[in-house]
């Protein structure tokens, strides 16, 4: 067993000079108030060990990391039929591109860009009587934490300023790829992005993807082995928007980022790791977070490649 704690401590020291070089997400006003110099990492293994440093137990807005949870829940419900409504290819464009959605006639390129995630949210609304409760219950099941909640101030802030998301949802509706009321879809979508979790909780909640679709603690199967493999593949190719190729090149793990500054990644058969640093790069990904994960795979010699 590697001394993961000392490795995480080394990483923290090496990335500290990067703090101050990125920018906290400002297009969602409620996210502007976060302390930009926060930094935390948490690593959990399939053997049940946990290693944490820094602000790993402070909760933050997970934002687009939530798209992994909703995709897993929808994939478990619909199976392969899900891909009739959303694609599987990297976007190569910003996560909220209207031009790409128009070019592709309302079939989003993948489930992690905003348009694709809203289609997934629409699927959940069609399949659950109380979708917001169903999403929270699912995240609580994955993490083993009963008091995971939405941050309603952030959800409201996103909805009040999410004009591009509203445009995407209405365009999807006009082409028949949103079944439910657009306002309902936007409401559920903004709430899922406003879930607050810590690095430790996020790493724990991603362990099922490192364990072939099974939650290790209770041996509960969430996805089939094939579905877990496919979801990991989508994270590797699409989890970082127009920086997905660079992340695969530099880090070499399936993962997902959020504009709250969080990133979660997995090494199948071994572990899940989460990092939080609120300052973002030009692609909307955590600047120090990506460097931290690059250092992790370099120092440990562990990746999927």
Q: pLDDT per residue over 260-276, tens digit each?
A: 999 999 999 999 999 99
Distances (CA, A) of 20 to 24, 35, 280: 10, 11, 10
Of the chain, the end-to-end C-alpha distance in Å amounts to: 20
Question: How high is the pLDDT of residue 29?
Answer: 84
Q: Per-domain residue ranges for the chain?
A: 4-300
Average pLDDT taken over every residue of the chain: 95
Q: Please state which architecture CATH assigns to domain 4-300.
A: 3-Layer(aba) Sandwich (3.40)
Q: Give tens-digit pLDDT for 33-46.
A: 889 999 999 999 99
Instruction: Enter the DSSP assignment of 130.
Output: S
Give pLDDT, residue 33: 84
What are the two backbone dihedrals, phi and then psi, of residue 175, each rounded to the nearest 5 degrees? -100, 10
* pLDDT at site 207: 98
Lowest mean pLDDT among 89-98, 233-242, 247-256: 89-98
Residue 34: partners with Cβ closer than 8 Å, 6 or more residues away: 24, 60, 260, 261, 278
Please report which confidence band the pLDDT of residue 75 belongs to, taking 50, 70 and 90 as the band edges.
Answer: very high
Q: Which residues are catalytic?
A: 64, 67, 189, 241, 259
Q: Residue 217 burial (CB < 10 Å; 0-12/13-18/19+)? A: middle
Is-contact 234 285, C-beta < 8 A? no
Per residue, what are the HEC states of 71-82? HHHHHHHHHHHH
């Amino acid at each position: 067993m590697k001394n993961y704690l000392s490795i995480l401590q080394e990483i923290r020291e090496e990335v500290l000079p990067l703090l101050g070089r990125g920018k906290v997400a400002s297009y969602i006003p409620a996210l502007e108030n976060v302390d930009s110099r926060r930094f935390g990492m948490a690593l959990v293994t399939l053997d049940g060990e946990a290693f944490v440093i820094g602000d790993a137990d402070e909760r933050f807005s997970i934002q687009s990391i939530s798209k992994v949870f909703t995709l897993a829940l929808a994939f478990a419900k619909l199976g392969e039929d899900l891909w009739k409504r959303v694609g599987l290819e990297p976007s190569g464009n910003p996560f909220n591109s209207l031009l790409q959605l128009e070019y592709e006639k309302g079939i989003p390129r993948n489930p992690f860009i905003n348009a694709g995630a809203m289609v997934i949210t629409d699927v959940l609304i069609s399949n659950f009587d109380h979708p917001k409760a169903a999403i929270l219950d699912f995240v609580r099941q994955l993490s083993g934490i009963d008091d995971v909640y939405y941050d309603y101030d952030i959800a409201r802030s996103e909805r009040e300023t999410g004009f591009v998301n509203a445009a995407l949802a209405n365009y999807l509706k006009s082409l028949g790829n949103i079944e439910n009321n657009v306002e309902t879809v936007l409401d559920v979508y903004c709430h899922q992005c406003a879930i607050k979790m810590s690095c430790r909780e996020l790493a724990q909640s991603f362990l099922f993807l490192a364990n072939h679709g099974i939650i290790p603690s209770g041996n509960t199967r969430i996805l089939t082995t094939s579905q877990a493999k496919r979801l990991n593949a989508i994270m590797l190719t699409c989890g970082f928007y127009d920086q997905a190729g660079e992340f695969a090149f530099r880090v070499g793990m399936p993962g997902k980022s959020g504009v709250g500054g969080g990133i979660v990644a997995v090494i199948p058969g071994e572990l899940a790791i989460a990092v939080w640093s609120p300052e973002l790069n030009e692609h909307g990904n955590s600047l120090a977070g990506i460097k931290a994960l690059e250092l992790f795979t370099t120092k440990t010699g562990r990746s999927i490649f």
